[in-house]
Chain A
Amino acid sequence: MKKFILIAVVLAAAVGFFYGEGAVKKPELLNVSYDPTRELYQDYNEAFKKHWKETTGEEIRILQSHGGSGKQARSVIDGLEADVVSLALAYDIDAIAEKSGLLPATWQERLPHQSAPFSSTIVFLVRKGNPSNIHDWDDLARPGIRVITPNPKTSGGARWNYLAAWAYALKKWNNDEVRAKEFVKAVYQNAPVLDTGARGSTVTFVERRIGDVLISWENEAYLVAATIGKDQCEIITPSLSILAEPPVAVIDKNADRHGTRAAAEEYLKYLYSPEGQKIAARHYYRPSSREIADKHAGQFSRVELITVRDVFGGWKTAQKTHFAEGGTFDQISRTQL
């Protein structure tokens, strides 16, 4: 038995050695991001590594972490040492600033377009041939339609979905909040599962084939329609949707501690460069650069877009009214039970 313990210890040491050796020491950036940006940042990180090498001569390694936006923000607050975050909505980065003080509350003013290098919106993904005959938000509230959307408590995309449905109802019933709440409740009563992140919902809809309609990020819907859902899904653009601006920010205190501030800032700035914008467009995000956006105009359908600021008075208010403890989402879920 002595021998056995000895072997185990030696083994542990050996494994530790190899593991340690595998991690080559070069400057590193950790980008903590939300769920559907996996493919985008895979491409972008390669481009940025090249750019960084060309401009500074330095090698850089970029680490990625993905998950529901709210959950990721929580992890950064709890000590996940992100150098930069790229989350689904401004409120989640506000929460990091407020609860951890790792970056200033004014972070959103540091980069153009409210720190959102690209935007997206919310669309529907339905089965090929649209068998459930879904054309607009009204159809999602129809009895018997199964709607797939993630949980607004943990997912950023889900909050955009929720607000888009709410905004549509407000417009339809002339800002009648009571009717809007009833409408959104009817939509969520049609939801058989609430995944924690947007990607989970996509897998539920496409791979597990549950549901008649997926409320989804536009970029995610296009990605699915172009790849794994090619012959089984199609995109429906509703009459009204929401301008979704997923923002980015350097987490100052982490970057300073790691000595990576210059790289972290350049990493985000490069997102606004023609190269960065092209990569975003290629992954079906709407570029903020007018020039690149015009080039890709044909790839997105035209839709009336409302903003969180105009309809909901900004993310802080929207979060408080709808998603905080006791907000409208809690109210409609509770009466459901």
Chain B
Amino acid sequence: MTPHSDQFEVEIPSDYESGQAVVERIMAEVGQAGFSSRDEFGIRLSVDEAVTNAIKHGNKLSPDKKVRIDFQRTDAGIRVEIEDQGSGFRPEDVPDCTKDENLECPNGRGLMLMREFMTRIEFSPKGNRVVLEKLHQR
């Protein structure tokens, strides 16, 4: 059988509506990839968190800045690369919200959820690009 691969790359403005539209487009592809409902739930949550982070914290909703999203679906799983035009951040500076002293902190749980639900999550050295990967469990 020929290996399957679907790919698209888009650049969106830094607004939430455009972010939601691209998440829906990605989830339409994910829906055909044969993941479990739990995995689909985790992928939606993770992609949504990453796109929202890029728009809100990365580009700070600037109309002059874009978010680039590259999506790939293969037989092995899916890969989403999200890059903003902000100044980046250091993931290690985000406090661990599961520690008792941080439990009531209202922010910082998105990263933790992405790490839990995806197979791999990797930031560029500058911190303005993230790769999310979810592989099928064979």
Instruction: Please indicate whether A and B come from the same complex rather than being unrelated chains.
Output: no
**Which residues of B are in contact with A by a Cβ distance under 8 Å?**
none
**Which residues of A are in contact with B by a Cβ distance under 8 Å?**
none
